[in-house]
Structure 1
Amino acid sequence: MSAATGTATGATTGTDATPPAPATTAWWRGPAARVWIGVAVAAVVLFGLAPAVLSDFRLNLLAKFLCLAMVAIGIGLAWGRGGMLVLGQGVFFGIGGYLMAMHMKLSDAGPGGVPDFMLLYGDGVVPGWWEPFRSPVVTVLAIIVLPAGIAALLGLAVFRRRVRGAYFAILSQALAAAFAILLVGQQKVTGGTNGLNGFRSFFGYDLADPVNKRMLYFIAAGVLIAMVVAVRLLMASRYGELLVAVRDQENRVRFLGYDPANVKVVAYAVAAAFAGIGGALFAPVVGIISPADVGVIPSIGFLVGVAIGGRATLLGPVLGAIAVSWAETGLSEQFPSFWTYFQGALFIVVVAFLPQGLASLGGLWKRWRSRSGDQGTSPSSGSDAPDDAAPDDAAQTAADAARTAGRNA
């Protein structure tokens, strides 16, 4: 009896009595810390480095790209986290852009004045639904609330009928096409194909002043950083977990008592609000908003940037949108007819070989190095767990040894 007990004890203690404690990881290597470090680095680049090294022209160009990146953040939330393939974000981008343009045209015309294009194309009378946008407060509220409200109503009508996937993508794309046609047809109040342009002031600030143009850049950078932080906090909340669950297992979420339609509507409305804000800042930064900026082609362009950057990551859509926009500007200057083909080819390559976008390159590199290290390490002798085994593997090895000793006893 004692010999058997001694054998069992010796086998247990000799093999691996206590699982090794899990290795501690430095705080800056955690996923959450890496995200906040990335946000801090982006803030330093946007607020410190870029204004110091870029000319006024290039800085204004970067401000334009930041406005487009605001749309990309919303698409990353709706598509990357919620699984909604949105191909009509140009609608909400255009709503925000046109509302801001209407306010600036009314402001330039003065109290009770008529915008210049209405004197040229129309009867010289400001429509009644234009009048509220003389107020900056009404304009700012409408830029946020109107796109979000339209998206919420559309989402409730669509998601409660369980429309998703390619059907939802086609529906949203058709909405963008219809919106562009509507803008072209209402020349007296929208400027038609020419859009609204020739803005002289932005909330009282002269847009011809380079200092004010630089101020617009800092506003765009600040709003973009705020959106990134907001999405990060949203995704770290219970709602963020629920949104991902709806994307992966919608029927299971419904079985647990949640309404997936309501979860999707919130993400879709937030994405629409972000697009509206991006469009509102795009108009004064670029100096024009037209149907060419809000139709089907721009909507697909937004999606391409998100796919290339990495739709399921936080900063991937931002970096992808900026990189694609910058490449489009550079290549269009050198090869005006080449960019469309390059954009399509790049999208196909990324979707085929990097479905998670360029943001997944770091993870792929780490996995490749990990596999190389595992292949180069020979298994240790005896029944002990290897030194580089994960804590769970080591604990399993110890448990197996204890069971073996018990059977021998």
Structure 2
Amino acid sequence: MTVLLRSRLTPWLGFGLAAVLLFGVAPVALSGFRLGLLAKFVCYAIVAVGIGLAWGRGGMLTLGQGVFFGLGAYLMAMHLKIADAELRGDAVPDFMQIAGIRVLPAYWAPLASPVVTILAVLLLPPLLALVLGLGVFRRRVKGTYFAILSQALAAAFAILLIGKQTIGGSNGLNRFRTFFGFTINDPANRQMLFFIASAVLLAAVALSRQLRNSRYGELLVAVRDQEERVRFLGYDPATVKVVAYVTAAFFAGVGGALFVPIVGIVSPNDVGVVASIALLIGVAIGGRSTLLGPVLGAIGVAWAQTALSEQFPGGWTYVQGALFIVVIGFLPGGLAGLAMLLRRRRPGPPTPADPPTVAPAPVAEQEPAR
């Protein structure tokens, strides 16, 4: 009874502690600049939750999450540029004026509406993942081939963005002034953006936990370990994989949309192959098969990158590569897996010794009556 009660209370205690740290301690203990950095790392953590679900539980090495992250980011950035242009009374954003573009492209026009923008951020990345997932998993593409295909997709997406001058080209989109009518540079509004990102992160973790502990989560693990047996039992492994892949894309799109007003810029460098692999490294280091490992790993790796880049600008790439090699080669479960291993090897409380067995006293034989 005590063990069951503890297992039910532990997740709620964890969420409560995370909420206190994010909403209570961080705004007080960190400066405005550091709080903005933490908000950026939280956006990466939202993407990492989806990678942990698709890769850690589903076995799908998603090297192309930058595509969905970038799609959500660029949709939000395009809306913010249109809103800034309307405030100035211009027909097109500032970078288009410099490039000599005087008419807003047709695919930009719907994003002038905040409602359409939010719906596009929530729906387009999952829809793209649905189309790609059905096309890939129905053909039983998996393992290394799926990883290479997703990585090629990220590279193609970055090249497409660089060649599109109507969405900023290689410079990307930047210099945003407002976010749905609120001034971005206002410290109070920047703190509110951090709170929004933190709330989305907690909601993503809660949804991921619900999927992991459900019957679907057990089926996802079964597909990862024994796909042919699952197919023999009457389930469609492709459908199971698509659900996890679409969920990961949804998280990535939302994280990208929040990344734009928090950081103030989005470019092809944020959505290409290197960015996708960096997200994967954080998940691997934290522990891809656990619930909180991807979150802590993504935040920790991003923080380490910022801290080391300030001291050693050219050395972070080597440190990142070394960390990834060490984790993959010696700690497949990540740091969370190491903690679980140490917990299992810790000796438990001594069991009480059994009471000594007392042999029954022999019964004296009675003399027969004479």
Distance change in 2, residues 1:42/1:202 (3 Å)? same
Q: What is the CA distance between 1:379 and its match in structure 2?
A: 9.4
Matched residue SS, 1:312: coil
Q: What is the CA distance between 1:234 and its match in structure 2?
A: 1.6
Q: 66, 71, 78: which is aligned to 1:102?
A: 78
Where does structure 2 lack aligned partners over 5 or more consecutive residues? Answer: 358-370
- Equivalent residue, structure 2, for 1:77: 53
- Equivalent residue, structure 1, for 2:240: 263
CA distance in 1, matches of 2:137, 2:189: 43
Q: What is the CA distance between 1:164 and its match in structure 2?
A: 0.4
Q: 34, 45, 67: which is aligned to 1:91?
A: 67
- Equivalent residue, structure 2, for 1:3: none
- Equivalent residue, structure 2, for 1:387: none
- Equivalent residue, structure 1, for 2:260: 283
Matches within 5 A, 1:122-271: 122-187=100-165, 189-271=166-248
Q: What is the CA distance between 1:381 and its match in structure 2?
A: 9.8
- Larger Rg: 1 or 2? 1
Q: What is the CA distance between 1:124 and its match in structure 2?
A: 1.7
CA distance in 1, matches of 2:227, 2:12: 30
Is the 2:46–2:251 contact (alpha carbons within 8 Å) kept by the matching residues of 1? yes
**Could you report, residue by residue, the CA deviation over 1:290-312 in whole angstroms, capped at 9, with x for unpaired residues?**
00100000000000000001101
**Are positions 1:56 and 2:32 aligned together?**
yes
Matched residue SS, 2:332: coil
**Are positions 1:328 and 2:333 aligned together?**
no
**Are positions 1:120 and 2:109 aligned together?**
no
- Equivalent residue, structure 2, for 1:364: 341
Is the 2:289–2:333 contact (alpha carbons within 8 Å) kept by the matching residues of 1? yes
Is the 2:91–2:103 contact (alpha carbons within 8 Å) kept by the matching residues of 1? no
Letter in 1 for 2:267: S
Q: What is the CA distance between 1:37 and its match in structure 2?
A: 2.2
Distance change in 2, residues 1:377/1:147 (3 Å)? same
- Equivalent residue, structure 2, for 1:405: none
Letter in 1 for 2:160: L
CA distance in 2, matches of 1:178, 1:207: 32
Q: What is the CA distance between 1:106 and its match in structure 2?
A: 0.3
- Equivalent residue, structure 1, for 2:13: 37
CA distance in 1, matches of 2:143, 2:2: 40
**Could you report, residue by residue, the CA deviation over 1:192-250 in whole angstroms, capped at 9, with x for unpaired residues?**
11100000000000012111111100000011111111111122222111111111111
**Aligned residues, how many?**
355
Which sits farther off after the overlay, 170-179 or 41-50?
41-50
Matches within 5 A, 1:251-400: 251-370=228-347
Where does structure 1 lack aligned partners over 5 or more consecutive residues? Answer: 1-23, 384-409
Letter in 1 for 2:75: L
**Could you report, residue by residue, the CA deviation over 1:83-109 in whole angstroms, capped at 9, with x for unpaired residues?**
100000000000000000000000011
CA distance in 2, matches of 1:130, 1:234: 36
**Could you report, residue by residue, the CA deviation over 1:140-167 in whole angstroms, capped at 9, with x for unpaired residues?**
1111111100011000000011100110
CA distance in 2, matches of 1:132, 1:311: 38
- Equivalent residue, structure 2, for 1:18: none
Q: What is the CA distance between 1:331 and its match in structure 2?
A: 0.2
- Equivalent residue, structure 2, for 1:392: none
**Could you report, residue by residue, the CA deviation over 1:263-288 in whole angstroms, capped at 9, with x for unpaired residues?**
11111011001100000000100000
CA distance in 2, matches of 1:172, 1:379: 58
Identity across matched positions, percent: 66
Is the 2:91–2:102 contact (alpha carbons within 8 Å) kept by the matching residues of 1? no
CA distance in 1, matches of 2:240, 2:311: 45
CA distance in 2, matches of 1:171, 1:379: 60
**Could you report, residue by residue, the CA deviation over 1:361-404 in whole angstroms, capped at 9, with x for unpaired residues?**
3321122223xx69x99997999xxxxxxxxxxxxxxxxxxxxx
Is the 2:82–2:92 contact (alpha carbons within 8 Å) kept by the matching residues of 1? yes
Query: TM-score, with normalisation over the residues of structure 2?
Result: 0.92
Q: What is the CA distance between 1:347 and its match in structure 2?
A: 1.0
CA distance in 1, matches of 2:98, 2:76: 21
Q: What is the CA distance between 1:121 and its match in structure 2?
A: 1.7
Q: What is the CA distance between 1:112 and its match in structure 2?
A: 6.8
